[in-house]
Amino acid sequence: MITMSMWWFLTTLAITAFFYLPAYAYDNEPLQDTCVAVTDNQTSVFVNGKTCKNPKLATANDFYFSGLNVSRDVYPKFGIAVTVVGVKEMPGLNTLGISTSRADIEPQSLFPFHTHPRGTELVTVLKGTLLVGIFVSDPANIFKTRLLSKILYPGDVFVFPRGLIHFLYNVGNKKASLFGTYNSQNPGLITIPSSIISSTPRVMDTILAEGFQLNKTQIAELRRKFS
Ligand SMILES: *[C@@H]1O[C@H](CO)[C@@H](O)[C@H](O)[C@H]1NC(C)=O
Ligand SMILES: *[C@@H]1O[C@H](CO)[C@@H](O)[C@H](O)[C@H]1NC(C)=O
Ligand SMILES: *[C@@H]1O[C@H](CO)[C@@H](O)[C@H](O)[C@H]1NC(C)=O
């Protein structure tokens, strides 16, 4: 026999679960001091479905990364370089919900429109002058956004909320360097134009043409530029 108060309890529980469960879809709260990610399942224990190194075998190097003092070589076409320090590069980040990166952008170069599906990013400019922007959705019109942009100088900090499309453009005359920190051990990176135009396998030309309201000649041109 289920009483009224039990119904009330069960309903509250169901509503609470509904609101709290999605939080566990990404970086979990750690249940122990360390859960160093490993690929060798012979020396591992499972926590929250993840494979962890036996904590007794964890070493300082699992929590260490070296090399953010220098820029990677830039991608020639884009004039940008990025070094990500996520759980893949630093296994000790596993379950901690945090990661970092360094980006370098040549003068008049653009870190193209992109999104991090699993992390908010806090950028700190070390060198150079950057115009950054985020596109905020317009609840009244699904085809519109509002651009929030700002010029950043060394020491300035800007936040790109999780999932929002953003860009960074070097408006100065020397190379710009910045650090990006994320509240995810694996924030992900989806670059908007190239992810659509140069997917594998290719999306059909007619779909690209319809999606961008361009004709086939213009689509061929886009494909060439992003190949
Ligand atoms: C452990 O790894 C080996 C080799 O990758 C694989 O064949 C095996 O199925 C794994 N065992 C478990 C329990 O996941
Ligand atoms: C960057 O750091 C690494 C590791 O500490 C060091 O070997 C290298 O010399 C440094 N490079 C520069 C340019 O400072
Ligand atoms: C495609 O569009 C461009 C720009 O409007 C135009 O110059 C060109 O003639 C069009 N080509 C075709 C095949 O429709």
* Ligand nearest to the CA of residue 209, numbered in listed order: 3
User: Does one domain contain both 93 and 117?
Assistant: yes
User: Does one domain contain both 209 and 175?
Assistant: no
Q: Count CA atoms within 13 Å of residue 227 on its CB side.
A: 8
Q: What is the pLDDT of residue 32?
A: 73
User: Does one domain contain both 73 and 167?
Assistant: yes
Instruction: Count structural domains, the chain.
Output: 2
Q: Which atom of ligand 2 is nearest to the CA of 69?
A: 1
State if residue 215 touches ligand 3 by the CB under 6 angstroms criterion: yes
Domain assignment present for 4 = no
Domain assignment present for 2 = no
Q: What is the pLDDT of residue 50?
A: 60
User: Does one domain contain both 181 and 212?
Assistant: no
Domain assignment present for 108 = yes
User: Does one domain contain both 170 and 140?
Assistant: yes
The answer to pTM > 0.85 is no
User: Does one domain contain both 155 and 213?
Assistant: no
Cα–ligand 3 centroid distance for 164 (angstroms): 32
Residue 114 is assigned to a ligand binding site: yes
Reduced 3-state DSSP string for the chain: CCCHHHHHHHHHHHHHHHHHHHHHHCCCCCCCCCCCECCCHHHEEEECCEEEECHHHCCHHHHCCCCCCCCCCCECCCCEEEEEECCCCCHHHCCCCCEEEEEEECCCCEEEEEECCCCCEEEEEEECCEEEEEEEEECCEEEEEEEEEEEECCCCEEEECCCCCEEEEECCCCCEEEEEEECCCCCCCEEHHHHHHCCCCCCCHHHHHHHHCCCHHHHHHHHHHHC
Q: Which atom of ligand 2 is nearest to the CA of 66?
A: 4
Cα–ligand 1 centroid distance for 25 (angstroms): 24
For ligand 3, mutation pick of 208, 212, 213, 217 (most atoms within 8 Å of CB): 217
- Per-position pLDDT tens, the chain of length 227: 455 565 565 555 555 554 444 444 456 677 677 888 887 777 777 665 567 888 888 999 999 999 999 999 999 889 999 999 998 899 999 889 999 999 999 999 999 999 999 999 999 999 999 999 999 999 999 999 999 999 999 999 999 999 999 999 999 999 999 999 999 988 999 999 999 999 999 999 999 999 999 999 999 999 999 88
Domain assignment present for 23 = no
Q: Which atom of ligand 3 is nearest to the CA of 216?
A: 13
User: Does one domain contain both 144 and 209?
Assistant: no
User: Does one domain contain both 92 and 180?
Assistant: yes
Domain assignment present for 43 = no
Return the number of other C-beta atoms located less than 10 Å from residue 37's C-beta. Answer: 19
User: Does one domain contain both 218 and 127?
Assistant: no
Return the number of other C-beta atoms located less than 10 Å from residue 136's C-beta. Answer: 13
- In terms of DSSP bridges, do strands 110-115 and 141-152 run parallel, antiparallel, or are they unpaired? unpaired
Domain assignment present for 42 = no
Domain assignment present for 70 = yes
User: Does one domain contain both 201 and 112?
Assistant: no
- Residue closest via CA to ligand 3's atom 14 equals 215
Cα–ligand 3 centroid distance for 217 (angstroms): 7
Q: What is the pLDDT of residue 24?
A: 42
User: Does one domain contain both 72 and 183?
Assistant: yes
State if residue 213 touches ligand 3 by the CB under 6 angstroms criterion: no
Domain around 140: 61-189
Copy the structure tokens of residue 223: 């494909």
**CATH code at position 104:** 2.60.120.10
User: Does one domain contain both 170 and 65?
Assistant: yes
Residue 221 is assigned to a ligand binding site: no
Q: What is the pLDDT of residue 33?
A: 77
